[in-house]
Chains A and B, each alone.
Chain A
């Protein structure tokens, strides 16, 4: 592509898919490198810090679990912001962003669930507890899967974007209600016997690897998101070119 020299002058310039692709191409190697460095540092910290006197080695699961859980929520927030962009400003890249965030967000949500239950088995003695947090993350996971299924079921990208934007936003409004209801339900059904992690202040010894890992996972998210968005733009471009070619063949 000849437009590598095009400079991004303002945020609105990002609306131009060609400029976006060019920018993504320039940014991606740097982001990927940063992600790799952060992961190297973070993983080193993960395995060199001391084990917790109470949780033992399993505290190391937290260095993955907590960032994954954060990102599962951040992924949905990114989708909600994009949905707003689709419906309010009709930003041409917003629906691309929303569509590409869904599988990545679902991946991190699945990771949060898996590591959560791997942590729960030695600590709680069971793989799955209908704990308030686990349950809300599980419902979030279902919402992700529903949105992915919806996007796959529709052929027309523009229509799919708007319809799923509505759904994303209603889901976003609903998240606090779900969280609240699950908390209510949990206190109703479970006497407070569940070990709480957030109750005690976290020692800086554990905070450092946690934050680095959170940063590393966030970078990973955005690297993947940017790359997926670029691919999605290409995909639409290919579809447009194919249509054009078919039209050309029909009229000739």
Chain B
């Protein structure tokens, strides 16, 4: 399992892997925001957490279809399906590696982008924390979409369309927790805990659904 984790990590970070593209996309999306909204610093500070969240969401969706693509191309998918370790675990480890390679960097660069958007240190910290708790959920739900993409002759965009409605709760609780840390009356903990609950919930549902979909897709 550790071997699989390290292998996936290496594949994602070497040239041609998707990790760097995700970060660049995130940067580009957030950099475009001031051009759309105008350079008003107050406004940017207000929409900052939301923009970081939307950027991270889109960047995570972008890399998702690669999750099982390489395996399908070189035939490793059949090995995965036939090996003794339950497919659910394999999928879970792959999700973990995928998140470490593409989700974690997004979390790490988000403070830098927060500075661009004139966000307060506290808001930056809160956004980073919520992204850390929430982006795994996006990867775990997306694993199912990626598994569906294996069956598609041309996957890609359709996966994002299918996954997007399902990640709405993650976005809502992530953003409301990030705002709650800054705006006074709203409590931070309830939405944050719900966000973590959603992540844990999908840690169970996501890989299981992805495993079923992979089996169905490769029949």
Answer whether A and B touch in the complex at a CB cut-off of 8 Å.
yes
B153 touches A155 (CB 8 A): yes
CB pair A150–B217 under 8 Å, yes or no, is: no
Q: Contact partner of B153 among A143, A153, A170, A177, CB < 8 A?
A: A153
CA gap between A27 and B169 in the complex, in Å: 42
Interface residues of A in 39-90 (CB under 8 A from B): 87
- Asked if A17 lies at the interface with its beta carbon under 8 angstroms from chain B, I say no
Contact A184 B191 (CB under 8 A): yes
The complex places the Cα of A211 from the Cα of B158 at a distance, in Å, of: 38
Tell me whether B133 is interfacial, beta carbon within 8 Å.
no
Which residue from chain B places its CB closest to the CB of A136 in the assembled complex?
Answer: B168
- CB pair A177–B198 under 8 Å, yes or no, is yes
Give the contacting residue for B212; candidates A139, A143, A166; CB below 8 A. A166
Contacts A150-B162, A167-B162; A181 near B152 (Cβ below 8 A): no
For residue B164, CB closer than 8 A to chain A, the reply is: yes
- B216 in contact (CB, < 8 A): yes
Tell me the dominant secondary structure on chain B's binding face.
helix
Is B36 interfacial (CB-CB < 8 Å)?
no
CB of B176 closer than 8 Å to a CB of A = yes
* Interface size bracket, A side: 20 to 34
A153/B219 in contact, CB under 8 A: no
| A127-167 interface code vs B (CB 8 A; 1 in, 0 out) | 00000000000010011011101100111001110110111
A173 beta carbon closer than 8 Å to chain B: yes
Per a CB cutoff under 8 Å, which of B151, B161, B176, B209 touches A146?
A: B161
The answer to whether the Cβ of B27 comes within 8 Å of any Cβ in the partner chain is no
Measured in the bound complex, the distance between the Cα atoms of B199 and A177 in whole Å is 12
CA gap between A10 and B136 in the complex, in Å? 47
Cα separation A146 to B165 with both chains bound (whole Å): 9
B residues whose Cβ falls under 8 Å from a Cβ of A: 141, 144, 147-148, 151-154, 158, 161-162, 164-166, 168-169, 172-173, 176, 186, 191, 194, 198, 201, 205, 209, 212-213, 216-217, 219
Interface contacts beyond A177-B198, A178-B166: sample of 9 additional A-B pairs, CB < 8 Å, sorted by A? A145-B161, A146-B158, A147-B162, A153-B153, A166-B213, A171-B165, A181-B172, A184-B176, A184-B191
Listed A/B pairs (11) with beta-carbon separation below 8 Å: A149-B162, A150-B158, A159-B217, A160-B151, A163-B216, A170-B144, A173-B205, A178-B166, A178-B169, A184-B173, A185-B172
Which 4 residue pairs are nearest across A and B when measured between Cβ atoms? A162-B216, A181-B169, A166-B213, A146-B162
